Structure 1
Amino acid sequence: MDITHVTPDIRMLRFAVGQAYAVRLPDGWALVDTGIAGSEGDILDALAGLGCAPGDLREIVLTHSHGDHTGSAAALAAATGARVLAGAADAPVIRGEAPEPPPVLLDFEVPLHASITPHVPPAPPSPVHRELVDGDTLDWGQEARIVHVPGHTAGSVAVHLPAAKALFTGDTIASHEGAAILGIFNVDRERSIASFRRQAALDIETACFGHGDPIVQGAGDALRATAANLR
């Protein structure tokens, strides 16, 4: 697993499929997403390298219900005692109480989806200790605001840190060759575009995506440039 320094308080943990983010808190760490099932050992090792003992992991925010983001949530919660938080509409899927709604694939997405899906094992059901809705706030030493960004999944959420001007987008937005792009494999493309535009309106400098390299400077301008051309 590759570990990348994004900002003084944010590290990206990159897996074979997707990535997660460790965020330093005044009294420990938070994690945004958890990679595929079986990633918990690598994540715990990475956190240990950052000086984070298992009991120092306070919260795990799952940006959405897909297995490359939720796969290790149950194991990490059991190993650390961290609370798991997720969007209210995705919580039943994450708990294993409802099936994952399939994406509505565009033609170019069909072969991509077929090539990626075999590498994402089913995620074990995970507890969701708090269901998040738009406007919720988390105390991460600075305010962390929850932004409901449906479209990729019904309950997708982004996490906005206004003071740090940072945003965790999950899969609603990705990056490719330094540019921000609309995420793929969406259940509702129109809602995904609306969610992209909502995030583009935020005052941010750093954007952390579920797939693709973070944009660490000028992220707001990058998102707005893409948003202007989305149809």
Structure 2
Amino acid sequence: MEIVRIAPNLVMLAFPVGHAYLWHGPDGLTLVDTGVPGSGPEIRRAITETGHRPADLRRVLLTHFHGDHTGSAAEAASWGDVEVVAHALDAPMIRGEAAGPAPVLSDWEQRLWEQVHTQVPDEPPAPVRVDREVGDGDDIDLGGGVHAVAVAVPGHTPGSVAYYLPEPRILFTGDTIARGPDGTVILGVFNADPARAAASLRRQAELDTDIACFGHGLPAVGDAAAALRQAAGSPS
């Protein structure tokens, strides 16, 4: 894992599969997604190398139920007084109470799916408690006057949720949007409902975003909204 500074209060935890993000607020830390199972030690390293303690973690924001994003959430939630947040529609899958829908794969996605899954541990993620189930428009106080707004972006999974920080203009998209190795911003792959996923991309492209943080691929830094609009097929 590589620790990448994105903004003064934000670092990316760049895993081989499924990035996580760490927000530093005056009242503690917020972790957005948690990587695959077994990523806990690397997340702890990132916390300590950025001058904090695991006990400083205050909340975990999960973008969806897939194991490369929830894989180490149960471990992170045990480090202290940690609130786990997820969309209500994905919460049963995160808790291990239900199985989520499989993706609808095109031919080229099938080949990519097989390639990606050679890099993902076979062990399923441990069930994770969800302390707060959010819906579209719900507000999450990150401390210091910074708030995250839950933006329902179904399609990748039924309860995929993006987290938008209006004041610093930062968007965490989960897997609803991705960025390729060439820097191109694209609709995320492996979607359970491709049409709804495309609509969710268009919705996020309407936000006033300066930094967009993706579950896969490097963040888009500086007028990210333009890149999102281009990906959505909207005028720049």
Q: Which category of TM-score, normalised to the shorter sequence, fits these structures?
A: over 0.9
Provide the identity percentage.
52
Cα distance in 2, alignment partners of residues 214 and 100 from structure 1: 27
- With normalisation by structure 2, the TM-score equals 0.95
Cα distance in 1, alignment partners of residues 221 and 61 from structure 2: 21
Say how many residue pairs are matched.
Answer: 229
Moved over 3 A (4+): none
For 2:167, the equivalent position in structure 1 comes to 163
**C-alpha distance after superposition, 1:175-194 (max 9, x if no partner):** 11222100000000110011
Cα distance in 1, alignment partners of residues 164 and 95 from structure 2: 25
**C-alpha distance after superposition, 1:28-82 (max 9, x if no partner):** 1100000000100110111011122122100000100000000000011112331
Cα distance in 1, alignment partners of residues 138 and 97 from structure 2: 24
Q: Is the 8 A contact 2:32 2:60 kept in 1?
A: yes
Unaligned segments of structure 2, at least 5 residues: none
- Superposition deviation, residue 102 in structure 1: 0.7
- Superposition deviation, residue 25 in structure 1: 1.0
For 2:220, the equivalent position in structure 1 comes to 215
* RMSD (Å) for aligned C-alpha atoms: 1.0
- Superposition deviation, residue 123 in structure 1: 0.8
For 1:84, the equivalent position in structure 2 comes to 84
**C-alpha distance after superposition, 1:133-172 (max 9, x if no partner):** 0000011131210100000000000000111011000000
Listed as ranges, the matches of 1:136-215 within 5 Å are: 136-140=138-142, 141=144, 142-176=146-180, 177-215=182-220
Q: Is the 8 A contact 2:57 2:79 kept in 1?
A: no
| Letter of the structure 1 residue corresponding to residue 222 of structure 2 | Q
Q: Is the 8 A contact 2:109 2:189 kept in 1?
A: yes
For 2:74, the equivalent position in structure 1 comes to 74
Unaligned segments of structure 1, at least 5 residues: none
Cα distance in 1, alignment partners of residues 78 and 10 from structure 2: 23
